[in-house]
Structure 1
Amino acid sequence: MLKKKSIINTIRNASIVGATVISCWLTPMGKLLALPQEAIVEKLESIPVFTIADGEGAPLVATDGENGNRRVAGVFISKTDANNFVEQLKQNNPELGSQVQVIPVSLAEVYEMSEANADQPNGLRFAYVPRQADVEQARQLNSEYSGGVPLFVATAGDDQGYLTVRQGDQEFIPFFFEQSQVNALVNSFKQSQPDMADSIEIEVVVLEGFISALQQGDDELLDRIILWPSQESIQFIQENSPQLQGE
């Protein structure tokens, strides 16, 4: 049974939509290894995020004067939040607001653009914007949470092993963008393992730390983690899949 602390600390310091939760297991401890670049991209590409861009598709950029005039673009986890930002911009700056739009991109695209700019002093940086409701839930679960996009993962048992889901013949550790989603997994586990119900814990890590762990971490369990889209993102993917497949 996996002791959670190694990978959780690694993350802190440093198509899923069709999945069906059939059951859940506790994952054994593994050897520590980092992921290659292509594996990181594959892991992130199923998550849609949303940027604000001009008519030509270039990101709306702010300048961070405290960091040598570094250029920063916002990346919204929620399409609703991105739309609200544009509406607010239209009120505060009608000329600029009329020129921008919400553009969906995959988290993998943001990652690749971030990597391409990493070594450039004035290169474009990306700031992730979490949903406020998720931030508040993360604070309630973990007093050490201090910002970033929260991810929720469940553990159980004397050694606090990860609850996993099975897709086909493989087991994965789901990291959820919403607490309600991890709660559904927990409830399923309680029904199948009622004697372990009192040992269940929900951990909070941040997306930014998770991505860093994929690059620098040394735990083979990183390869078994899947990011589970929010309900809003699942709906967006389902509504746009036919259009995307036809392109």
Structure 2
Amino acid sequence: MKSLIRWSATLGLLGSTLLTSWFGQVPKALALPEAEVIKVLQGVPVFTITTEEGGPLIATLEDDQKVTQVFMSQEDANQFLAKLKANQPEIGNKVKVQPVSLGAVYSFALANNTETESLKFAYIPMASAVDSAKKVLSDNGQQYQGGVPLFTLRGGPDNSILTIQQDDKEVIPFFFEKAPIQAIAEQMKKDQPDIAETMQIEVIALENVIGLLQNKDDAMLKQIQLVPSQETMEFIQEAIKSQQNQGQ
């Protein structure tokens, strides 16, 4: 663990304060090229409700704002669809849960954010992650401000964000659940107790991370790695297994 753990001062701008640029309200001039932003987001499956034509299920609010939901949890998406079928079968029976990468959602957001019309995305976090985030923030004297919580560690000599050596490169991991980052913190208490005393788990909204990608010109941002929840990792493994079986 000693050789794997480092601290990145580059992401010092990340914190609990919400950035002004939220995902779904994408500025025209991106700090990182669109392809690089998509690359950071590509490895995370999310779940949408799609129509028979393959487009997203869109709700129109009272102010005529069009909104579509993006679920971090397949189970939550399935539960939403079950309620929709029960309460509005004329709609629910014509839509389905569709997995798609977060990178594809981002690309779709870019394409549907124009001066005349924009489609907003309501990102639905896992309830368990929100509960963990509220506890962490409360312990740090802060409050949950909404958004999809990501968990990381901050500490070390410069109170910096955790980085991890992965093969021949360093990555800056952000976890969709608290448990993995808690496990890293516990291991560091054994391996690097002096640094462990300075550490604390920190909650950062996914929307803030994407906002930073949109607004900050820094090559280090390419090292961000979003680590899906255990539920989503199991979905990925099942999808890979299914593809392998089809290939055979």
AA partner of residue 228 (structure 1): V
Aligned to 1:72: 67
- Measure how far apart 1:74 and its partner are: 0.3
Q: Relative to 1, partners in 2 of residues 1:11 and 1:36: Cα closer, same or farther, differing over 3 Å?
A: farther
In the aligned structure 1, how far is the partner of 2:67 from the partner of 2:74?
19
Choose which of 12, 18, 24 in structure 1 pairs with 2:18: 12
Unaligned residue ranges in structure 2 (runs of 5+): 1-6, 21-29
CA displacement at 1:9 relative to structure 2: 4.2
**Match of residue 76, structure 2, among 70, 81, 102:** 81
Partners of 1:48 and 1:233 within 8 A in 2: yes
Q: Cα distance, 1:3 vs. partner?
A: 4.4
Q: SS in structure 2 opposite 1:102? A: strand
Q: Under a length normalisation based on structure 1, what TM-score does the superposition of the two structures give? A: 0.84
Task: Work out whether 1:59 is the aligned partner of 2:56.
Answer: yes
**CA RMSD across the alignment:** 2.2
Q: Secondary structure at the match of 1:43?
A: helix
Query: What is the aligned counterpart of 1:39 among 17, 36, 39?
Result: 36
Task: Tell whether the 8 Å contact from 2:152 to 2:202 is kept in structure 1 after alignment.
Answer: yes
C-alpha distance 215-4 of structure 1, shift in aligned 2 (>3 A): closer
* Matched AA of 2:12: S
3-state SS of paired residue (2:49): strand
**Residues 1:114 and 2:109 aligned together:** yes
SS in 1 for 2:180: helix
Q: Deviations over 1:13-66 (max 9, x none)?
A: 24xxxxxxxxxxxxxxxxxx9422111111111100000112222211101222
Match of 2:97 in 1: 102
Amino acid at match of 2:240: S
Unaligned runs of 5+ in 1: 15-32
Distance 2:213 2:32 in 1: 6
Give the whole-Å Cα distance in 1 for the aligned partners of 2:156 and 2:79: 42
Contact 1:50–1:75 (8 Å) recurs in 2 = yes
Aligned to 1:198: 197
- 1:128 counterpart residue number: 123
SS of 2:13's equivalent? helix
Aligned partner of 1:102: which letter? V
Q: Is the contact between residue 34 and residue 220 of structure 1 (CA under 8 Å) also seen in structure 2?
A: no
Q: How does 1:157-172 map to 2 (within 5 A)?
A: 157-172=156-171
1:17 match: none
SS at match of 1:141: helix
Higher helix share: 1
Shift of 1:208: 1.1
| CA drift at 1:238 | 0.6
Summarize the Cα distance change of 1:5–1:46 in structure 2 as closer, same or farther, 3 Å threshold. closer
Deviation of 1:235 (Å): 0.6
**TM-score, normalisation: structure 2:** 0.83
Q: Distance in 2 between matches of 1:190 and 1:163?
A: 14
Tell me the equivalent position of 2:184. Answer: 185
Structure 1 outlier segments of 4+, above 6 Å: none
Instruction: Classify 1:138/1:121 alpha carbon distance in 2 versus 1 (closer, same or farther; 3 Å).
Output: farther
CA contact (8 A) 1:174 1:227 kept: yes
Deviation string, structure 1 residues 38-97 (Cα, Å, up to 9, x no partner): 11111111100000112222211101222xx12111000000000000111112112222
Deviation at 1:4, TM superposition (A): 7.3
Amino acid corresponding to residue 36 of structure 1 in structure 2? P
Identical columns (%): 42
Q: Work out whether residues 47 and 229 of structure 1, in 8 Å CA contact, stay in contact via their aligned partners in 2.
A: yes
**Residue 141 of structure 1 aligns with which residue?**
136
